[in-house]
Amino acid sequence: MQRTTGYSVLVLLSGLLAPALPAAELVKGTPGVPLPSNATVSKFDPSLWQCDRGFSREGAACIGVAIPAGGHLEASGSEFGCDRGFRKEGSGCVRVSIPAHAYLSSDGGGSQWRCEAGFVERGGACVVMVVPPNAYTFETAYDSGWACNRGFKKLDAGCQPITLPPNSSLTRAGDDWDCRRGFARVADTCVKVDVPANGYLLSSGRAWQCERGYIRDGTRCIALEVPERGFLDYSGNEWRCAEGFERKTNACVKQQR
């Protein structure tokens, strides 16, 4: 029995793990009609055939893929694509014209351009971006432009300073303000949240709730009266009747069977 060497196993695994190329179109053959030139019978179904790599099907024939200057054969093997810096136009590849202060981007497979930071596209050209005071330019993979500094907010074409009312602070983004814990925003002010006896401030810091065993009554917390054979529910601000009893107004009465 032939031994499998470590190299053979490595080659076998490499073949199994390698990414598969897109399969060419399979065509149903016609009995008695010979296989067209530059075609191969399917390994899995002898009644099917496909064009060889570098050829594409036109009717019952396999025609060579014409690759223009600045182009290449795609992974499918049946069509051409344009190289980076070229774009597809009809049956050819045209070089992308990049204006001053621009660069070839990765968008569209390298067939598009973007303006450099500090410039903006206007009519196919890159012009200097007008940046107002208290602003800065930015550029990401998806967008570019200008934004206001922290403590300012965008208004029309400029940056307006944010006025902080008492007991407030800037938000994480820095383009707005929010009230500190224990205060609630009302119009352009921060109003103190008055927590009554037997109440507590919620995690948001902008509202309150009654403690367990109490119920809200306007701006105060009153003790919840639990009747005989009743118990506080999971919220702690309401009660339910024990099993076998039902609620009737403010009492728990035995269920009728």
CB 56 within 8 A of CB 63: yes
CB 25 within 8 A of CB 78: yes
Amino acid type, 141: A
In the chain, the N- to C-terminal Cα span, in Å, equals 83
> Who's near 211: CB < 8 A, 6+ residues apart?
198, 199, 200, 221, 236
Q: How far apart are CA 94 and CA 189, in angstroms?
A: 60
Tokens of 17: 């793990």
Q: How far apart are CA 50 and CA 72, in angstroms?
A: 21
Q: Cα angle vertex 221, ends 220, 223, to 5°?
A: 145
Q: For residue 206, which of 180, 184, 186, 178 has the smallest C-alpha distance?
A: 184
Residue 183's pLDDT band, with cuts at 50, 70 and 90, is very high
Residue 9's pLDDT band, with cuts at 50, 70 and 90, is very low
pLDDT tens for 136-154 read 988 766 666 889 999 999 9
Residue 38's pLDDT band, with cuts at 50, 70 and 90, is very high
Q: How far apart are CA 180 and CA 107, in angstroms?
A: 43
pLDDT at 10 over 50: no
pLDDT tens for 117-133 read 888 888 889 998 889 99
Q: How far apart are CA 139 and CA 78, in angstroms?
A: 38
